[in-house]
Amino acid sequence: MRTSIATVSLGGSLTEKLTAAARAGFDGVEIFENDLLAGPLTPEEIRARCADLGLTIDLYQPMRDIEAVPEAEFARNLRRARHKFELMRRLGTDTVLVCSSVSPLAEDDDALAAAQLSQLADLAQEFGVRVAYEALAWGRHVSTYDHAWRIVETAGHPALGTCLDSFHILSRGSDPKGIADIPGEKIFFLQLADAPPLAMDVLQWSRHYRCFPGQGGFDVAGLLRHVLSAGYDGPLSLEVFNDVFRQADAGPTAIDAHRSLLVLQETVGLARPPAPVVPTGIAFAELVTPDAEPVSALLGALGFARTARHRGKPVDLWQQGEARILVNTGPAVRRDGTALAAIGLESPDPEGAARRAEALLAPVLPRRRTPEDARLDAVAAPDGTELFFCAPTTPQHPGWRADFTDTPGRLPPGTGVLRIDHLALTQPWHQFDEAALFHRSVLGLHAQESVDVADPYGLLRSRAVTTPDGSVRIALSVGPAPTEDGAHAQHIALAVEDVVAAVRRFREAGGRMLRIPANHYDDLAARFDLAEGELETYQDLGILYDRDAGGEFRHCYTRTVGRVFFELVQRDGDYRGYGAPNAPVRLAAQHTAKRLTGG
């Protein structure tokens, strides 16, 4: 179906919004009145701009406080409406949104509302305009979709229909089932928005916290199914008021928005993008660094061996168990120190995975390879991390591994690292919801609950996206307003069988773990009845401990190199978390370490 977006959903000038909507692939826009009023373009210029961009103008909105008012007031309202219909003619759009009144003058009189809306529709018809009447969730007398529909039905005017808005319907807990009983041709417009489950004043919730379908907690797809079975065939249009999106660049937000509509259409069977290909493991994590020495020293102490080197690029492969880390000293895009730049995802169908990513608007990365190199499909995640889709490597089909030449030599004993347990990526502050939707829809991962974590300098929010079996786990987090150096830490967590043994070997190799304050161990002593001597060992080695109903978690952290540090984790039983209760301790310890080293 045709897709559309209200200009209020995006940040920037009207020109920037229209350009972003067109580039992201929307077919049309709703012009939000304030965006027109505040901008320098005349209605004719906006119309021409949209035509140039291939956008239709599907709706002009909103017209407020029209109906069920005393006669003199209604006369003023009709005068106002005439001006706006004239404007719409210049703009070249034929549908106007009328919200149910919040005016103290409005009377609780459906017959009066229907009669006045009918008069409004008479006037609209003169201008070739249709009126779409919508119940605001906080409307004075009309606040539910079925009530708005009853008034429209009573009016029985061909130029008067209803507009449905998923936020207004679902935020009130209305049952959307009744939508299917509205004749499809009387649903003049459909606005879609999701929202996080917040128990708060519905007006504030609507004005500041709406998000794109799939980013929140509403069953937007369920609602859409009812609208479709009613026979609606107009555009699917996003109307999202969100404080963060207002401040973000319109371009990425529009892409995020359009992706959410594509996924929604897939969910209800309106679109069939290539099926998701769930990754089966992490093939590698790639660090870029201007100076390989500090990272190499750290990897060496962690028991990794430099096992191979890329045939044509300055990229080393470090390996231990199934954990593979590439260290790239080539001319990477990012020159701001050591960073986690790319993730190789093992995929049963790399080309299929890339096709889905591309269909869902992930930027496809140019292949930086020589003709001999293995084909590697790659896309960019919203935070810029490169995601490579890799076939599993086997001796018969070495895949990406064939681009590397083995380095001769005996393997060091290692520290018992088994595989990469998870990767932690800090997101730009305005892309947290976008990132979760991306990983869920493009990669087919499951998004877990968000958790708040107290950092000494502000709250962090963290959310993991994983495969059901835990073979791929990515922890996304977003921090307080960026610090002066702007760089947020990323980390690679390595699974070990015995973290105590691993840290001891790391130490013998000259490594130093992040120092954890003694107070943490006092607290563990208070909370858990651990074996004699266990806590002393953990304290000595800098190991943190957590336990939940499923099992136990022991973990510790290396010092940070550039933006990157490593974590060693030992999971026992069915512990599926990430040691969130210990995160404030770790963050504070990292701040302390930074102060001590002046870094």
Q: Judged by CB under 8 A, which of 185, 204, 293, 468 binds a copy of itself?
A: 204
Of 5, 25, 2, the residue nearest 14 (C-alpha): 5
Q: Judged by CB under 8 A, which of 293, 525, 574, 599 binds a copy of itself?
A: 525
Site map (CB under 8 A) of a copy of itself, residues 67-96, x = contact: ------------xx-xxx--x---------
Number of residues that bind a copy of itself (CB under 8 A): 57
Q: Which amino acid appears at position 120 of this protein?
A: L
Q: Judged by CB under 8 A, which of 480, 550, 573, 599 binds a copy of itself?
A: 480
Tokens 């089966």 found at: 280
List, as one string, the DSSP characters of 37-104.
HTSS--HHHHHHHHHHHT-EEEEEEEE-S-SS--HHHHHHHHHHHHHHHHHHHHHT--EEEEEPP--T
Contact positions with a copy of itself (CB under 8 A) in 371-430: 429
Contact positions with a copy of itself (CB under 8 A) in 15-74: 33-34, 36-43
Binding part of the chain for a copy of itself, among 170-178, 179-187, 372-380, 590-598 by CB under 8 A, reads 590-598
Binding part of the chain for a copy of itself, among 241-249, 295-303, 383-391, 403-411 by CB under 8 A, reads 241-249
Q: Any contact of residue 457 with a copy of itself (CB under 8 A)?
A: yes
Hey, which residues does 189 pair with through a beta bridge? 163
CA distance 31 to 115: 27
Q: How far is the CB of 247 from a copy of itself (least distance, A)?
A: 4
Structure tokens belonging to residue 484: 């002066």
Binding part of the chain for a copy of itself, among 232-240, 356-364, 390-398, 513-521 by CB under 8 A, reads 513-521
Determine the length of the chain: 599
Q: Judged by CB under 8 A, which of 52, 233, 522, 574 binds a copy of itself?
A: 522
Of 460, 149, 430, 446, the residue nearest 279 (C-alpha): 446
Q: Which is nearer to a copy of itself, 291 or 452 (CB)?
A: 452
Q: How far is the CB of 328 from a copy of itself (least distance, A)?
A: 30
What are the binding residues for Mg(2+)? 422, 491, 567
Q: Any contact of residue 243 with a copy of itself (CB under 8 A)?
A: yes
CA distance 289 to 328: 6
Q: Judged by CB under 8 A, which of 333, 518, 531, 549 binds a copy of itself?
A: 518
- DSSP annotation of 430 reads T
Q: How far is the CB of 545 from a copy of itself (least distance, A)?
A: 13
Q: How far is the CB of 581 from a copy of itself (least distance, A)?
A: 10
Residues sharing a CB contact under 8 Å with residue 246, sequence separation 6 or more, in sequence order: 11
| φ and ψ of 485, to 5 deg | -80, -10
CA distance 119 to 125: 10
Q: Any contact of residue 529 with a copy of itself (CB under 8 A)?
A: yes
Q: How far is the CB of 494 from a copy of itself (least distance, A)?
A: 24
Q: How far is the CB of 139 from a copy of itself (least distance, A)?
A: 17
Binding part of the chain for a copy of itself, among 305-313, 319-327, 442-450, 581-589 by CB under 8 A, reads 581-589
Q: How far is the CB of 218 from a copy of itself (least distance, A)?
A: 17
Structure tokens belonging to residue 467: 């495969």
Q: Which is nearer to a copy of itself, 154 or 592 (CB)?
A: 592
SS3 418: strand
What are the binding residues for a divalent metal cation? 134, 165, 191, 239
CB 572 within 8 A of CB 551: yes
CB 100 within 8 A of CB 140: yes
Which of left, alpha, beta for 340 (phi over 0: left; psi -120 to 50: alpha)?
beta
Residues sharing a CB contact under 8 Å with residue 179, sequence separation 6 or more, in sequence order: 145, 164, 169, 187, 223, 226, 227, 230
Torsion of CA 366, 471, 348, 357, to 10 degrees: -40
Q: How far is the CB of 68 from a copy of itself (least distance, A)?
A: 20
Q: Any contact of residue 515 with a copy of itself (CB under 8 A)?
A: yes
How would you list the strands of the sheet with 339-346, edge to edge? Answer: 377-380, 386-390, 339-346, 281-288, 323-328, 315-320, 305-310, 404-406
Site map (CB under 8 A) of a copy of itself, residues 274-293, x = contact: --------------------
Of 384, 298, 383, 286, the residue nearest 344 (C-alpha): 286
List contacts with a copy of itself (CB under 8 A): 11-13, 33-34, 36-43, 79-80, 82-84, 87, 198-201, 204, 207-208, 243, 246-247, 429, 452, 454, 456-459, 480-481, 515, 517-520, 522-523, 525-527, 529, 584-585, 587-589, 591-592, 595
